A and B are shown apart, each in its own frame.
Chain A
Amino acid sequence: MADLLFPKAALVACNGGCRNESCPYGCIGCGMCVAICPFDAIAINKNGVAEVNESKCQGCGACVTECPQGIIRLHEAGSPIVVKCANRDSGKAARAACQVSCIGCGICEKACPSGAARVEDNLSSIDEALCLACGMCAVKCPRHAIYDLRGVLTKIN
């Protein structure tokens, strides 16, 4: 259940498929967000990338400005289907950089029943005002770049 007192939560658009090695866009595991978060809501996970605990996050946005990679943004806390990738390289390069990168194939856009999933600059994004949280994109994504934060339709890590 989303905490409606704090309808926004931070989201790190990377799931660490390259283990901070080859992707120029993703999380570098620097830990600046972890340090700045006043609510102790971010930690570096086992993939070596920052991950937000939505039940602690109060949507203050401190990490958003802090992130040197610019890959943290605020999203609707009640919207569980998210793209956790920031790689804008073309398919081939994106594939080479990471195991779970978005390659801009457009399958999510086709699968999405509500026009929420869009691919631009080789990267998928979800318009949360339109999203119905069905997760069709998460289930169909061949790269597992889209996640169900509730852990129902996809495993979290």
Chain B
Amino acid sequence: MATFFVNGRSVTATKSQSLLRFLRDELRLTSVKDGCSEGACGACTVIIDGETCRACVPKTDQLEGRHIITVEGLSDWEKKLYTFAYGEAGAVQCGFCIPGMVLCTKALLDKVQDPTEKEIRHAIRNNYCRCTGYVKIIQAIQLAAKLKKEGAIPEPTETDWKLGSSVHRLDVEEKVLGYGKYPDDWYLPGMTYGSAVRSQYARARVLSIDAEKAKALPGVVAVITAEDIPGENKVGHIKHDQYSLIPVGGLTHYLGDAIALVVAEDQETLEKAKKLVKVTYEPLPAVHGPEEARLPDAPRVFDEEENNVQAYKHVARGDAEGAIAASKHVISRHFETPWTEHAFLEPECAVAYWDEDGFVRILSTDQSSHTTLHECKLLLGSEKVRVQNQLVGGGFGGKEDMSVQHHAALITYLTGRPVKVKFSRAESLLVHPKRHPFWMDFTIGCDENGIIQGVKASVYSDTGAFASLGGPVLERACTHASGPYNYQNFEIEGTAYYTNNPPAGAFRGFGVTQTCFAIESLLNEMAERIGISPWEIRYRNAIRPGQELPNGQIVGPETGLVETLEVIKPYYDAALAAGKPVGLACAMKNSGVGVGLPDWGRCKLIVEADEKVHIYSGASCIGQGLGTVLVQMVVTNTPLKREDIVYERSNTWIAPDSGDSSGSRQTLITGEACRRACEQLTSALQEKPLKALVGQEFYGEYLAKTDKLGADVPHPVSHVAYGYATQMAILDRDTGKIESMVAVHDVGKAVNPKSCEGQIEGGVVMSMGYALREQYPIDENCKPIDKFGKLGLFRAHEVPEIRAIVVDKPGLDKACGAIGIGEITSIPTAPAIAEAYYQLDGQRRTTLPLTNTPYERRG
């Protein structure tokens, strides 16, 4: 027992528990986020006696007499100050790290009035942010310091909510002050806790499950096994091969496979009960990687499959082989890229309960509420499901699949009770699909001027224990492997193999991060061979409006690759002139699903009783700022003002399905649907004032029509739009570290330039990790061995200057010219950095993370 002060109030903790659990579960101070409970992430940061401290570390018994502050306990003036500073700087994305960052800001400013940038970086260096790359958080702290000294908070610089204006994002306040709800912030009356017992072996046959002891433990509500599933056991986005629970007699596919679900009244009983579930297995030899998976006598990962090939793609146009044979210069290389963990700050969590209309209501954090709906309906064999998105603490592709949502739904469906299913950080690292590791062989042929004649490649990937989006990722890796250049002889084949490793699926860049490293590295080497600069070879080959991409698509006047090269030129020349090692790379990335798949954007504008227009679209804001984009769309395309508009988080019963937050598609596809709904609303507003429209609905939808891969037309339209980028890395010759990164992006019309910059900075820093340090090692038992704090994510004091430049070139006639930015920010970074190191030490590096750099992991 201990008595201490929380936000000035004296409180007594009777049982000893971590401060984090006490603050959240007992005091319901849910601004204190649980990102790992192991001391690594910093999301739980509080202030204890003036010092920042992680709430998950000390036990309440150690805190006698201490004074603890959470953001709930800031003064009103501080609340306004930090909300303004973080909003003005554009520092808030998913928001999960933000309350912790705010407390670091306070602790710093309470001690130092005028902190230097170095002191600021130092103050937040132990707190991870996966979204922002820290750049704008540092700026927010600088601004807060200035305003604190001046003692007054001004008006935001930009208040006009039209497109092109850097207004404060609409979710800043709830995220800074921590009252916005992520699923874990819900505590429902009578809520139970659920968790899965997972396989002990990556590949084994389940012989028996004995839950009697667990069921007998007081406080245990239920133990659920495969035979209790009312609908389909196997779910999945495209291919239904993800077992919700492995049945007796069934094969396990990886260590994350769930065998039984345990439900208990409280979290402690739950942990005890999980240990009491006895499962017997027949362990079987596992498949550790593609090299093993493809052997003719390899064990099969799936009983149901003939072999371990999950997907095969072949993309060809022209005559790559002939063109290469006739080329003056030919280079062939082998490349490898690693597994990467998304490391979003919010671990997966879902809350489910029976709602007042007799539906299983799921409160989720995912990349599409409608996808969650489809998969959960499948599992329950029932239509009585509703999904409501909560705040999403980062996704980056890792929250596309079912992780906890389906289990929560199943528990409520079977027990009738509300339930929370939340992953520990270790579970999150094990269970959700990762970025695919790739092995790639590329050959490029060029003429004497460096003009690309043809490229031929063959790649394979490890897609792990279930398909997830392995097929589409492979396909995108192949279709974009050509790079954004003007040549027509291109051939690639790719294979994705099932193995008993954790699954791989979507990850920001969707396969292109991998093949871009290969093609761009080759191009850099080719430039040297020809005797021209990496910039020059790209400028000569860059795809220009009206030209034909290697996939046959003729690109439109909006194509801005050349502009990105021209904008970066002065920076490039200056760095060269200063004798600095610099590297450069380009990329393109589709916006929208493309390749002939149905790709719908849908949006409803409903005038509700409060006489405001409510925006409903079944599209997730995973931190990128979709809500703000849609409000800016409405202000631009109707006579309405910001105050007349309310953005509603995605749900499945009012908001129409607008697809996944994937493929950088929401700004363009849902943006266009929203614009169309605005046309309807605007014409209604010409007849009547807004308040006379109460109860009316205005609907817009947009089908982004494309041709399927290999369509038999002269110029298939693979994607409705592409974003283009050039990025550059400059090294410091003395330290061998990155001095600065310059990232120039063509995004069509930037809806909110500051948000857009934030996406770029975050994407660049994420891929600096990919290029230099991040790994996800897996041991001989197919077990990922690293904890969150060991992944190698960049920290605030290690991030160099990042210059994000948005080229505002008029885009398509869709969504007012806006194109998605989410993924491309991460794509050209790694090859640019690899080239910079080559310039430094003359060593060509063909694997990631790059070796022999000061960033290389020790131990």
Which positions in A face B, CB cutoff 8 Å?
Answer: 1-2, 4, 78, 111-115, 118, 127, 132-136, 139, 150-153
Contacts and interface: CB of A to CB of B under 8 A. Distances in A.
Interface string B31-75: 000001011101000001101011001110010001000000000
Interface string B12-45: 0000000000000000000000001011101000
Interface stretch (B468-476, B627-635, B782-790): B782-790
A132 to B, nearest CB: 5
A134 B38 CA distance: 9
A111 B122 CA distance: 24
Interface in B95-135: 108, 111-112, 116, 118-119, 122-123, 126
Contacts of B39: 111, 113, 132, 134-136
B126 A133 contact: yes
A153 B543 CA distance: 58
Contacts of B53: 135, 152-153
A58 to B, nearest CB: 17
A118 B859 CA distance: 11
B119 A113 contact: no
Contacts of A2: 122
Nearest to B116: A4
Interface residues of B, number: 30
A153 B58 contact: yes
A7 to B, nearest CB: 9
Contact of B48 (A118, A127, A152): A152
Contact of A134 (B111, B112, B126): B126
Contacts of A4: 116, 118-119, 122
Nearest to A80: B51
B51 A152 contact: yes
A109 B680 CA distance: 63
A44 B38 CA distance: 36
B99 to A, nearest CB: 17
Given A1-B111, A113-B789, A113-B790, A134 B40 contact: yes
Given A114-B790, A115-B790, A115-B859, A132 B42 contact: yes
B185 to A, nearest CB: 23
A136 B38 contact: yes
A115 B57 CA distance: 16
Nearest to B121: A4
A136 B57 contact: yes
A4 B117 CA distance: 11
A152 B122 CA distance: 18
A132 B118 contact: no
A13 B48 CA distance: 26
A55 to B, nearest CB: 12
Contacts of A115: 787, 789-790, 859
Interface string B775-804: 000000000000111100000000000000
A118 B126 CA distance: 19
Contacts of B51: 150, 152
A79 to B, nearest CB: 10
A4 B787 CA distance: 30
B59 A134 contact: no
A2 B126 CA distance: 14
B281 to A, nearest CB: 26
A114 B36 CA distance: 12
A100 B6 CA distance: 31
Nearest to A77: B122
A114 B40 CA distance: 7
Given A132-B126, A136-B57, A153-B53, A1 B789 contact: no
Contacts of A112: 789
A78 to B, nearest CB: 6
B117 to A, nearest CB: 10
A57 B39 CA distance: 29
B57 A135 contact: yes
Given A139-B58, A153-B57, 18 more contacts: A1-B112, A4-B116, A112-B789, A113-B38, A113-B39, A113-B40, A113-B789, A114-B789, A132-B39, A132-B789, A133-B126, A134-B54, A135-B54, A136-B39, A139-B62, A152-B48, A152-B51, A152-B53
Given A4-B122, A78-B122, A134 B57 contact: yes
B787 A113 contact: yes
6 tightest Cβ-Cβ pairs between the two chains A and B: A134-B39, A114-B789, A113-B789, A113-B40, A136-B39, A113-B38
A113 B116 CA distance: 29
Contacts of A132: 39-40, 42, 126, 789
A32 B10 CA distance: 46
Interface string B169-208: 0000000000000000000000000000000000000000
A113 B426 CA distance: 11
B49 A1 contact: no
Nearest to B791: A114
A136 B789 CA distance: 12
A78 B40 CA distance: 17
A141 to B, nearest CB: 12
Contacts of B790: 113-115
Contacts of B36: 113
Contacts of B66: 152
Contacts of A152: 48-49, 51, 53, 58, 66
A132 B59 CA distance: 18
Contacts of B42: 132
A128 to B, nearest CB: 11
Nearest to A3: B119
